[in-house]
Structure 1
């Protein structure tokens, strides 16, 4: 009994020590000793394990940390572990994503009384005083106070206050300052502590479309998800169909939040209907809209085993895993460009930043055009050689070098060109999108 009490007491002490640095915590409860032994071999005292979970949950909740609970299931755990290396640290990191409990459900599963919900904030009907309060918090640089009040106003649906604050800062300062404030508000509206994981945000995949056929939106989204370019704790779900960049730009603050809730609930958002693909192709850009779910919930078993929180890596320190994911995304972009006549996916960005991403791409592409003379002349010479037949290009990226093979659409070889990085106006992968403006790209040699 003393050992059990010691472990429970140590867990409570550690929980209160790390709580100030956490927003959420996940604890696991076990239905029986066999399940505990399957997931954490050698730890057969199920009563102690569950008592620790209850104690940690109570302590964390008192410190303002949101508590998630998972009921251990042997079948779900075995399916998750399959294909992973079976080590204690891997086992401790298990998260049963499909069946997490939060809020009152989590506390009931632990046999605890749920804390009373926070009463919704009350604001006066007149928007002026609250708008001034919001701007005062914004101007003081107190990001926590500004973000808290902004979040409450969005939750309360007070678009009148938010719009008035933007108008006031425009009148008092400048259009640029007003745009900066509105961008921050949109970012807050597009992300929230919602959904099964406790955090979700709207994202956009802008795509520079070639004049030819618009790529299949579902296939493109599935390809990104399967590319190997996503972090393990990142889950993406995309709406079917394309959206217009203009429609995204026109979303109000409250409409942005409604779209977020619609995607969390797996509904098509009335505020953002699909765009006309022919119109998108004429304008050169389309947007895939999705939901990014963050599953990086701190797991108590991991914290307890380490005796505290893991050290955070330096912000500018790129890990080998991050470099590998970046390379996977580059390969996927190149494949998309080759298979879709040069259509190029841009970076995945928060939904409110889709317009800025497109503008940045256009600026970058404009800066590169002056360095494309060699490639343009190479393609034109091949067209003269083709004698009126359609010319297609099969690009290949070898390290930082770009290799181009030109043939007719029927497969007759015309010419090839190898460009080392010093002769390229952009990276080899980045060039694929620009090439699509001059010649149709193909993945495989024609005629095979």
Structure 2
């Protein structure tokens, strides 16, 4: 409709309401063009009626303007190659979400209806827009040699991003022959170590992708140092980690039931790693990574919980518009919230070590880094063990006093100090040692896992 002939309501300043609405839409389009080069994805919200809009954004805009802004932002962003996510606002879902949070404007703008996001063609249909035509998949020569050389040339110039892009295309095309040849070429021209580094890099890239319900999903692993006869329940352990308070608000974790073998993970090809990722996104049991035998895992010392981490840190247009641009980069130093989450994870590890008589959960890592995490733990444990002479001597004296009976240890963390109480397995008190933080080679919570190397741990005094 020609703007000159459009009927308009007058505002108090004498400007037509339609002009004000048009200004907001035009300003949104301009801001979208400005920030698009720095974004991979954007979430816009559509409102079905004025009541829903007023519930979520009271007094912020009228219905037609809010939805017009969503459409123009999506259109501009899509032209710049930004992925579009759409949520249809739902008052009930929003109220349930807000009930668990402080009601602030910042919180309201960050709402993401995680269970019902639209992406791809579905998102454009919801907006009433035509989806951009899909790019045809790249075609590679049937002979792998030239493509393998191209991949290795890109690997030498990692800053360009060409290696990640080309590797992703080869994985999507199922060209494991090209990847295998590239690794062999590096082994022959350089060394086994360099070939292993290239393969590990391929695994890492294959373990994450722009798939799933949000902008990004990746495979993760929780390696656990096990003791013979003390393999924890995998589901209970995974639930404990998720409920520990140690995860960021933008993280969603889902774990496979059952334990997996570190060796089986290390043997996954990049293509198999990607298949495992897609299986977990689709909530399927992965055929490429079957559960391991718990007795065998305990004999070898480590088991692994395999999971999917979904990243929900999708930029929302409401936040960008309110701040007049992209939010500032977070500070490099740890925030109080991050420190609190780290303490919660340490406390959870300590509880696991005590309740399982010495099993130690390691850090949550990308699936491709399981072997590195285990090797790092063993190195660190070796350093810690070198500083445990006082504890070892304390336990040895108690063993002599026990006269051949098995002894057990009840450890407790008290104001960052570590209290160790030794009993015989039948319940006879032997001795108690309290170590302040300055005499510990690790935090009190971190020490709980290492103690399992010397003595069986118990949660309560034996009777």
Q: Which range, TM-score by smaller chain?
A: over 0.9
1:180 positional shift: 1.6
Residue of structure 1 in register with 2:311 after alignment? 294
Report the RMSD for the aligned CA atoms in angstroms: 1.2
1:138 positional shift: 1.3
Alpha-carbon distance in 2 for matches of 1:396, 1:152: 52
Larger-gyration structure (1/2) = 2
2:234 to 175, 199, 217: 217
User: Are 1:185 and 2:202 an aligned pair?
Assistant: yes
- Structure 1 residue ranges (4+ consecutive) displaced by more than 4 angstroms after TM superposition: none
User: Are 1:304 and 2:321 an aligned pair?
Assistant: yes
Residue of structure 1 in register with 2:11 after alignment? none
Residue of structure 2 in register with 1:100 after alignment? 117
Matched length: 446
1:428 positional shift: 2.1
User: Are 1:373 and 2:389 an aligned pair?
Assistant: yes
1:343 to 359, 368, 371: 359
Residue of structure 1 in register with 2:373 after alignment? 357
Residue of structure 1 in register with 2:150 after alignment? 133
1:63 positional shift: 0.4
Instruction: Give deviations 1:409-440, integer Å, cap 9, x for gaps.
Output: 34332111011233323332221111111111
- Contact map agreement 2:187 2:194 (CA 8 A) in 1: yes
Distance 1:63 1:197, change over 3 A: same
1:385 positional shift: 2.5
1:376 positional shift: 1.8
SS at match of 1:374: helix
Q: 5 Å matches for 1:64-213? A: 64-213=81-230
Alpha-carbon distance in 1 for matches of 2:276, 2:194: 26
1:87 positional shift: 0.9
- Contact map agreement 2:223 2:304 (CA 8 A) in 1: yes
- Contact map agreement 1:212 1:341 (CA 8 A) in 2: no
Q: Which moved more, 1:423-432 or 1:282-291?
A: 423-432
SS at match of 1:68: strand
Alpha-carbon distance in 2 for matches of 1:41, 1:136: 55
2:429 to 386, 398, 413: 413
Residue of structure 1 in register with 2:335 after alignment? 319
Task: Please give the TM-score of this superposition, normalised by the length of structure 1.
Answer: 0.97
1:437 to 428, 453, 458: 453
Task: Please give the TM-score of this superposition, normalised by the length of structure 2.
Answer: 0.94
Alpha-carbon distance in 2 for matches of 1:212, 1:379: 22
Instruction: Give deviations 1:63-94, integer Å, cap 9, x for gaps.
Output: 00000000000000000001211111111110
1:35 to 52, 55, 69: 52
SS at match of 1:298: coil
SS at match of 2:303: strand
1:44 positional shift: 5.3
Alpha-carbon distance in 2 for matches of 1:85, 1:141: 43
SS at match of 1:91: helix
1:176 positional shift: 2.2
1:329 to 345, 350, 355: 345
Alpha-carbon distance in 1 for matches of 2:331, 2:33: 25
- Contact map agreement 1:394 1:442 (CA 8 A) in 2: yes
2:407 to 377, 391, 398: 391
- Contact map agreement 2:229 2:295 (CA 8 A) in 1: no
- Contact map agreement 1:33 1:44 (CA 8 A) in 2: no
Instruction: Give deviations 1:88-139, integer Å, cap 9, x for gaps.
Output: 1111110000000000000000111111111111000000000111111111
- Contact map agreement 2:145 2:181 (CA 8 A) in 1: yes
Q: Which moved more, 1:182-191 or 1:367-376?
A: 367-376
Alpha-carbon distance in 2 for matches of 1:416, 1:358: 32
SS at match of 2:158: coil
Residue of structure 2 in register with 1:21 after alignment? 38
SS at match of 2:249: coil
- Contact map agreement 1:127 1:160 (CA 8 A) in 2: yes
Alpha-carbon distance in 1 for matches of 2:402, 2:127: 74
Alpha-carbon distance in 2 for matches of 1:424, 1:45: 62
**Unpaired segments of 5 or more residues in structure 2?**
1-17
Q: Which moved more, 1:153-162 or 1:416-425?
A: 416-425
Alpha-carbon distance in 2 for matches of 1:61, 1:146: 24
Distance 1:87 1:213, change over 3 A: same
User: Are 1:52 and 2:69 an aligned pair?
Assistant: yes
Q: Which moved more, 1:31-40 or 1:143-152?
A: 143-152
